[in-house]
């Protein structure tokens, strides 16, 4: 009995020792867990306004060192049917698609089927614009000078919700005879270039772009819900509807117009995007070189660096390296970023055009990195700039009247005087008012923006150039004087 009692006492002592060790080991875990709960609450608070009744929302995710530590859904995927977003809801990821297209080019280069140093003319010898030495690398890094097709289409008379395909873009591109600038001279974001890359992938592989991407990128990386969509009329389960917000605070469904690929129109989930982003700091076996090449930063011909690689920006936030890109189409908005040195990735996807998605991703990073995001300072135009805009030109406005035609977009604009005001009309866009900026220079509303008249040696107006954000100096020849009074 005595031996048994001694054994029992020994077990009690050992049990207490084990309990003490267990407490010492687990307490830090509990402490970390409590910190996580606080962080989770702070992240949730950023999206409280998405959880209002009958409001669109989104899905937000965080991955740390390969583990998803936060994944939450907010608001509604459908306002019509009051279907809430869930953690697996699909969103159009817009221009985040570009890094996947770029990966397609990288894989083909690794297989020896093409080179980023190839001239685009090799694949489109019939296009006059490609007599310029544009390489695939120029296109990947947005230094090609290619005019953006969205703005070209707008100038041609396409409305914002007109359905557009790769075929439409290719036909428009074939009409181009000039670039925004010499290849390599500047950085200017161009959706056109990435449609060209999708077309090149099809030419090289002999396969449909969406099928090739599925078999060679999405499936090998186990991105089970990610896909290319070239027909937005397809019915897909668990896909969010996107919404705009009008001035009277009434939500409006964004009319689906997107059917082009390469530059956009991939759909994905927050979980899939975090899986993809994980490869930027811990690539899947066999993909190490591919993701390293994807991060090849560009430079201009004058030696100046740019912070765009192959489909991704590489910059700094909170003093830390960041790989990031935003996606915008219709009412969809997505921001995906990775802090590779911190092994941290964040995604914010929403089906609401007014949602501050990129800012919220930065706020989340601030919480997790114990940093505070600085506020952007509002742009204030100087008094001198205001004076310039208010200057009256002494030129004769009647010189600027007439009909002007651009063969590069097959479009006419007619300029005419209404009283003392120069106006312009287009068959689909209607009437525009010209505001004098200086001698022979005007500004107007979208899509015209900036207009500069061109004169011959006799001082006669023979044409004009229109410039927008991503289209520069598009030529319109004057074909007759105005018949509108």
Q: Taking 70 as the threshold, does the pLDDT of residue 394 lie above it?
A: no
**Whole-number Å distance between alpha carbons of 437 and 292:** 47
pLDDT at 20: 41
What structural domains does the chain harbor? 50-81+88-145+180-369 (3.40.710.10), 393-480 (2.40.128.50)
Q: Compute the average pLDDT of residues 208-228.
A: 98
Of 328, 351, 319, nearest to 60 by C-alpha is 351
Q: Taking 70 as the threshold, does the pLDDT of residue 101 lie above it?
A: yes
Position 27 confidence tier, pLDDT thresholds 50, 70, 90: very low
If one compares 250 and 323, the residue with the highest pLDDT of the two is 323
pLDDT at 249: 66
Position 112 confidence tier, pLDDT thresholds 50, 70, 90: very high
**pTM here?**
0.88
Is residue 191 exposed (0-12), middle (13-18) or buried (19+ Cβ within 10 Å)? buried
Q: Judge whether 238 and 86 are in contact, CB under 8 Å.
A: yes
DSSP-based helix, strand, coil % in the chain, nearest 5:
35, 25, 40
pLDDT at 332: 97
Residue 31 is encoded by which pair of tokens? Answer: 């402490």
pLDDT at 374: 59
Position 455 confidence tier, pLDDT thresholds 50, 70, 90: very high
pLDDT at 16: 45
Position 29 confidence tier, pLDDT thresholds 50, 70, 90: very low
Q: Taking 70 as the threshold, does the pLDDT of residue 84 lie above it?
A: yes
Is residue 475 exposed (0-12), middle (13-18) or buried (19+ Cβ within 10 Å)? middle
Q: Compute the average pLDDT of residues 465-482.
A: 94
Q: Taking 50 as the threshold, does the pLDDT of residue 388 lie above it?
A: no
pLDDT at 19: 42
Least confident of 9-23, 68-82, 162-176, 442-456: 9-23
Tens of pLDDT, residues 343-366: 999 999 999 999 999 999 999 999
């Amino acid at each position: 009995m005595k031996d048994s009692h001694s054994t029992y006492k020994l077990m009690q002592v050992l049990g207490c020792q084990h309990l003490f060790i267990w407490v010492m080991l687990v307490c830090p875990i509990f402490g970390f867990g409590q910190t996580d709960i606080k962080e989770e609450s702070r992240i949730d608070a950023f999206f409280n306004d998405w959880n209002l009744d009958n409001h669109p929302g989104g899905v937000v995710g965080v991955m740390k060192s390969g583990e998803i530590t936060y994944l939450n859904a907010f608001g509604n995927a459908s306002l019509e049917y009051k279907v809430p977003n869930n953690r697996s809801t699909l969103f159009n990821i817009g221009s985040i698609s570009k890094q996947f297209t770029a990966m397609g080019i990288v894989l083909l280069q690794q297989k020896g089927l093409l080179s980023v140093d190839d001239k685009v003319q090799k694949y489109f010898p019939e296009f006059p614009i490609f007599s310029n030495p544009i390489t695939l690398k120029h296109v990947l890094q947005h230094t090609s000078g290619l005019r953006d097709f969205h703005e070209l289409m707008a100038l041609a008379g396409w409305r914002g919700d007109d359905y557009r395909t790769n075929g439409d873009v290719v036909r428009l591109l074939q009409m181009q005879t000039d670039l925004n600038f010499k290849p390599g001279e500047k950085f200017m974001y161009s959706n056109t270039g990435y449609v060209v890359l999708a077309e090149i992938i099809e030419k090289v592989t002999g396969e449909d772009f969406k099928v090739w991407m599925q078999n060679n990128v999405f499936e090998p990386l186990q991105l089970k819900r990610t896909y290319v969509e070239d027909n937005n009329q397809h019915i897909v389960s668990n896909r969010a509807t996107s919404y705009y917000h009008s001035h009277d605070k009434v939500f409006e469904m964004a009319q689906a117009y997107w059917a082009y690929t390469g530059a956009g129109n991939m759909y994905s989930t927050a979980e899939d995007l975090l899986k993809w982003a994980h490869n930027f700091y811990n690539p899947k076996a066999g993909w190490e070189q591919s993701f390293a090449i994807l991060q090849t930063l560009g430079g201009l011909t004058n030696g100046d660096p740019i912070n765009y690689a192959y489909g991704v920006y590489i910059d700094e936030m909170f003093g830390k390296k960041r790989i990031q890109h935003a996606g915008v189409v219709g009412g969809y908005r997505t921001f995906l970023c990775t802090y590779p040195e911190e092994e941290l990735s964040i995604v914010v996807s929403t089906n609401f055009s007014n949602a501050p998605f990129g800012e919220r991703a930065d706020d989340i990073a601030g919480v997790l990195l114990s940093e505070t995001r600085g506020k952007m300072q509002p742009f204030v135009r100087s008094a001198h700039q205001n004076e310039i805009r208010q200057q009256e030109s002494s030129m004769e406005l009647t010189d600027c009247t007439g009909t002007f035609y651009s063969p590069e977009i097959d479009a006419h604009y007619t300029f005419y005087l209404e009283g003392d005001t120069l106006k312009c009309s287009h068959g689909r866009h209607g009437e525009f008012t010209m505001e004098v900026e200086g001698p022979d220079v005007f500004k107007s509303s979208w899509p015209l923006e900036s207009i500069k008249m061109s004169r011959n040696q006799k001082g006669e107006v023979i044409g004009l150039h229109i410039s927008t954000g991503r289209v520069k100096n598009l030529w319109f020849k004057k074909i007759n004087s105005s018949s509108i009074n």
